[in-house]
Structure 1
Amino acid sequence: MSSDVATEAGELIVAREGAAGVIRLNRPKALNALTLEMTREIATALDAFEADPKVALIILEGAGERGLCAGGDIRGLYESAKAKGDLGKIFWREEYIVNARIAQFPKPYVAYMDGFVMGGGVGLAGHASHRIVTEKTRMAMPEVGLGFFPDVGGTWLLSRAPGELGTYFGLTGLTANGADALAAHMADVLIDTVNWPALREALTKLSAGTDATALMTTLKKFAAPEQTGPVTAQRAQINRAFAHDSVEEIVAALEQDGSDFALAAFKAMSDKSPRGLKVTLKLLRLARASKSLEECLSREYLAALEVFDSADFVEGVRAAIIDKDRNPKWQPPDLKGVTPEIVARYLAPRDVALTF
C-alpha cells in the first residue's frame, strides 16, 4: 500500500493513496468504536483533504475483519454519566457536527460498510455521498436497548426509508444486511467483498474533479446481482404494523398479526427501554416532516442531553456491556408509565445549540 501522506498508526489512520484521501478507523479489538479524539482527528483530516487539490475523493474504512465501526465509545460515556460528567455534551456536539460535515463535503465521500456498522458508525458512513455495503454488512441502530434513540442523524436517515422500514429498524434495533440496507436507502451499492480490493484500487486512480455521477458509474461496475433482503421481503407486514403513531398501537398490531416475523419484532421491542421506544418514535415522526439533516441533528442533540441525565442510559449500558446480565431495570418499567410529559423533556429547548 503506497501512501503519500500518512499519520502514525494510532486509533485513526489518515493517508493519501493516489487520488484518495483515506480515513481508516483503527481500533479493531474494540470493533473500531469511535472516541472523542478520533472524531476530532476525522474533522482535521476532512479539512486537510478538502484543501488538497490532489485528493479527488475520500475513502472511509475500518481496520480488521469484523466491521467498519460498532458505534461510539459507550464505556467512556457510561463512566462520565455515572460521575455526572460532561463527556456526552462534548462528544455528541463534536460528533454531530462531523456527521453534518460529511453530508456537506464538497468532494465524493465513499464509505465501505463491510461487517458491523452500528450507531456512530452509521453517522460516519450513512451520510456519505457513496455508500457501499457487502454480503457481510450488518447494519443496525440498536440504541433503544440502551435507553437511547437512533442519533448521529439516524432519525433523518431512518425517516427517509421507504414505507415503515426505518420505523421497524429504529424501534426493534434489529440488523439490516446489505440488501436490506440498500432497500432502506441506507446504502447505494452492494458488492461482494472479493471485489473490494479491485474497486478500491480503481478509486485511488480516479482523476481530480471526478463528479458524483461518474463515480457511481464506477461503483456499479462492481455491483453484485440484485437481491431481496429478509426484512425487505416482509415490507407489507412492516408497513401495516409500524404505520401507527404510538408504540402501544404498533405493539398491538404486531401481536394481532401473529406471524413469526411479527412476533420476532414484538420480542425485539419487548426488552427495550420503554422511554427509549417512545422517544425514538416521536423523533422519527418529527424527522419525517423535517427539511434537513441539520434540523434533525439539532433535535437529537437536545434529546441526547436528556438521555445522558436519565437513569435508563446508565442502566442500559450496565446491563448490555458492563455486567452483561441482559436484565435492565427500566424507569418507568413499562410503556404506560412513559407519559407525554416525560417525552416532552427530550424536546425541550436548552441553552445549548449546534453550529454547523
Structure 2
Amino acid sequence: MKVLVEENAGVRKVILNRPKKLNSLTYEMIVEMLKKFKVYENDPMVKLVILKGNGRAFSAGGDVLAVYNFTTAGHWSFAASFYRKQLTLDYLLATYKKPLVSILNGIVMGGGAGLSMHSRFRIVTENTLFAMPEASIGLFPDVGASHFLSRLPGFFGEYLGLTGARLVGTEMLACGLATHFILAKDLVSLENALRVVGSLDVSDISTISDIIVRFVHKVHIKQDSAYSRLDIINECFSRETVEEILLSLENFSANREEKWIIKAINYMKSASPTSLKLSLRSIRKGRIQKLEQCLIHEFNVFCHILRRTVNDDFFEGSRSMLVDKNKNPQWQPSKLELVTEEMLTKCFDKVDDDDWESLQLPAKSNQSFILESKL
C-alpha cells in the first residue's frame, strides 16, 4: 500500500508509504488521500489527523516521470487530471475543518510542500530538507507555492522560488514555513502523547498546541544561513525583473565571497529562463490573491506547460535531468531577455481547448494559516 492509515480512538494517521521513491506522489496516492481526508473531515469521531511519511522523506514531490511519460505518449490530459486532483487535495487540506499535524521528518519538496505548508501544525526536525527546485526542470513553484512563498518575510519567497535554495528545519522555523522544531528521536513520544486528543469532546487546538510545545527543541539559526542575510535578499529579490535580480546578485557577488549568493547565481543561470520568469510572475501575482485564486492560476500555467504553448522546456528539462541525466538541458529561449511578456501572459490565460476546463474548487471558508517567523 502506497498510503497507509492508522486509526486510534479519535486520531487518524495518514502515512505516505513509497520510501524507495522518496514518497513521490502518484495519481493513485492522491485519489486515495482525497477519499480518506474527506471521510475524516466529516466524521464527528475524528478529532485530529496526522500526516507523515515513511523513510527519509515526507515527500519529494509529484511523480514527474509519470507525468513526463504519459504526456510524451500523447496523453497530456491525464497529466492535467493528475494535477487537478492534486490541487483539489491541497485545497482540501488548506481549508481542513479538523486540526491537521504535518510531520516533516525528511525531504519535503514540490508536491510534498503543497500537501503540508497550509497545515495548522507543521513540525520539522534536524532531518528536514525543504526546496522548490521546479525551474531546474522547466516547471515553476506550484501546488500553492505562489501563496505560501509570497507570504514569507520580505522577498524570501522570491529567493526560494528563483534559486531552488535548500532550507533545513531551523531555517524553515525561522522564516515561518514550520511552526515547531522537534528532535526526530522525540517524534514517537509526541505521536503517543497526541492520542489523548482522541478522547476529547471537541477538536481542542490549544490542547494540541500545548502537547506539541512540550516536545519543542530550542534552536538557533546558523550565521552562514541565507535567511540571516535577509537584508541582501530583500535588496536583490525586490527588483522588478529576473534580469535585474540576477544582475543585483552578481554585483553583490563581486564584493562578497558568500556561498549562498554563488549558488543562487549558478542555479538561475542553469534553470529554464522561461520558468524563472513564470516563477517570479506567479509569486508576485500570488501576493495579492487568495489561496484558491493562486491554485487556479497555477493550474492554468501548468496546463500551458503540458501543451507546449510557448516551448518544450518541461519535456527538455525532464529528459535531461530525470531520463538521460546528462544535466545539460537546451532551453528555448536560451536567454532571459528572449522570454517576452506576451509569452508569459499566454501561460496565465485559460487554455483554448474545447475539452479543457478551468480548475473548480469546492466552496469552503479559507482556513489557511498565516506564515510567520518563529525565531
Q: TM-score range by the shorter chain?
A: over 0.9
Aligned to 2:132: 141
Aligned-partner Cα distance in 1 for 2:209–2:153: 21
How many residues get paired? 345
Return structure 1 stretches of 4+ with deviation > 6 angstroms.
Answer: none
Aligned-partner Cα distance in 2 for 1:94–1:210: 27
Contact 2:22 2:57 in 1 (8 A): yes
Aligned to 2:203: 210
Is 1:221 matched with 2:214?
yes
Taking the TM superposition and a 5 Å limit, the aligned residue runs for 1:1-356 are 10-64=1-55, 66-85=56-75, 86-206=77-197, 207-208=199-200, 209-229=202-222, 230-258=225-253, 259=256, 260=258, 261-290=260-289, 292-310=290-308, 311-350=312-351, 351-356=356-361
Amino acid aligned to 1:295: Q
- Further displaced range: 330-339 or 223-232: 223-232
Aligned-pair distance for 1:231?
A: 2.2
Aligned-pair distance for 1:347?
A: 0.8
Aligned-partner Cα distance in 2 for 1:154–1:285: 11
Q: TM-score, normalised by structure 2?
A: 0.89
Aligned-pair distance for 1:308?
A: 1.2
Describe the superposition over 1:307-337 as per-residue Cα deviations: whole angstroms up to 9, x where unpaired.
1123111111111111111101111111011
The percentage of aligned residue pairs carrying the same residue is: 35
Amino acid aligned to 1:225: K
Describe the superposition over 1:3-33 as per-residue Cα deviations: whole angstroms up to 9, x where unpaired.
xxxxxxx111122123311110110110111
Describe the superposition over 1:120-172 as per-residue Cα deviations: whole angstroms up to 9, x where unpaired.
10011111111101111101111111111111101100000001111111000
Specify the SS of the correspondent of 2:4: strand
- Further displaced range: 336-345 or 218-227: 218-227
**Backbone CA RMSD of aligned residues:** 1.2
Aligned to 2:367: none
Describe the superposition over 1:257-305 as per-residue Cα deviations: whole angstroms up to 9, x where unpaired.
0122322211121110000000000001000111x11110000000000
Contact 2:236 2:248 in 1 (8 A): yes
Describe the superposition over 1:217-273 as per-residue Cα deviations: whole angstroms up to 9, x where unpaired.
221221111311512112111111111120000000000001223222111211100
Contact 1:145 1:272 in 2 (8 A): yes
Specify the SS of the correspondent of 2:51: strand
Aligned-pair distance for 1:84?
A: 2.5
Flag structure 2 segments of 5+ consecutive residues without an equivalent: 362-375
Contact 1:245 1:281 in 2 (8 A): no
Aligned-partner Cα distance in 2 for 1:308–1:201: 44
Flag structure 1 segments of 5+ consecutive residues without an equivalent: 1-9
Aligned to 1:4: none
Aligned-partner Cα distance in 2 for 1:342–1:183: 36
Aligned-partner Cα distance in 2 for 1:177–1:249: 28
- Further displaced range: 128-137 or 342-351: 342-351
- Further displaced range: 303-312 or 293-302: 303-312
Describe the superposition over 1:26-49 as per-residue Cα deviations: whole angstroms up to 9, x where unpaired.
101101110111101001101221
Contact 2:350 2:358 in 1 (8 A): no
- Further displaced range: 91-100 or 263-272: 263-272
Amino acid aligned to 2:316: E
Contact 1:19 1:203 in 2 (8 A): no
Amino acid aligned to 2:129: R
Amino acid aligned to 1:144: A
Aligned-partner Cα distance in 2 for 1:108–1:266: 40
